[in-house]
Structure 1
Amino acid sequence: MIVGIGVDLVDIGRFERSLERTPRLAERLFTETERTRPPRSLAARYAAKEALIKALGGSDGVHWTEIEITPEASGRPWFTLTGSTADVVAERGIRTLHLSMSHDGGFATAYVIAESAA
């Protein structure tokens, strides 16, 4: 059963300028592994994290660096959640998170569907 959906769109150029103006921003938003990626990929990951928060219905107990987008062997993106963020998802009965991300034409987008078992 779908319990939440979220979508987000990020202007890659604007996001990149924000990272340049605020050097510690990347540390607050991304895990160490994610920070090795290029700006367009970081913009898509930011969109994914925003879309997840929207699908959850809010950010209470959710921390940016406890959300990591990790690719499967096929390249499919997947959420790896830790700490209180993982607890929030479990407490809300969410069993599966579906994630789709893309970047093209100067924009990055992400879509998340949260499903419960029932």
Structure 2
Amino acid sequence: MAVIGVGIDVVAVDRFAASLARTPSLVDRLFASDERVTRSGHPRSATSLAARFAAKEAVAKALGVPAGMQWHHCRVVSADSGRPSLVMTGTVLAAADAQGIQDWQLSLSHDAGIAAAMVVALG
């Protein structure tokens, strides 16, 4: 497989948490219901949500920031092991298909108040 795109993004957790507190509906606009909670059903922390938002931004960058991308069409899910992966539907899947992207690799990290994500689009 060839690398078609790479995206990276960082999010200041405090600033992201303040945005969520200021605009409570933002969490619903950015994340699908299964992204907002852990596998055990507990609400995700602002740090975890910030990392997932960074992943969505990184995907947009890897795709070349396609017009009309809807945040719910790019979901970050976790395997039982905790390893994150991406699930694409709708507008994001269409943009990926148009570029021949067949697989995604994702890495999330957070430390010292910063959440980061890197994605590699493969085709």
**TM range, normalised to the smaller chain?**
over 0.9
SS in 2 for 1:35: coil
Which residue does 1:4 correspond to in 2? 5
Q: Deviations over 1:44-75 (max 9, x none)?
A: 00000000000111132421011110012222
Question: Which piece of structure 1 moves more, 100-109 or 55-64?
Answer: 55-64
1:1-118 to 2 correspondence within 5 Å? 1-36=2-37, 37-116=44-123
Which residue does 2:41 correspond to in 1? none
Name the % identity.
Answer: 45
CA RMSD, 1 decimal? 1.1
Aligned positions, number: 116
- Unpaired runs of at least 5, structure 1: none
Whose helix proportion is higher, 1 or 2?
A: 1
- Contact residue 66 and residue 95 of structure 2 kept, 8 A: no
Taking the aligned partners of 1:44 and 1:59, their CA distance within structure 2 comes to: 21
Q: Deviations over 1:87-118 (max 9, x none)?
A: 221121001111000111111000011111xx
Taking the aligned partners of 1:73 and 1:91, their CA distance within structure 2 comes to: 31
| Structure-2-length-normalised TM-score | 0.89
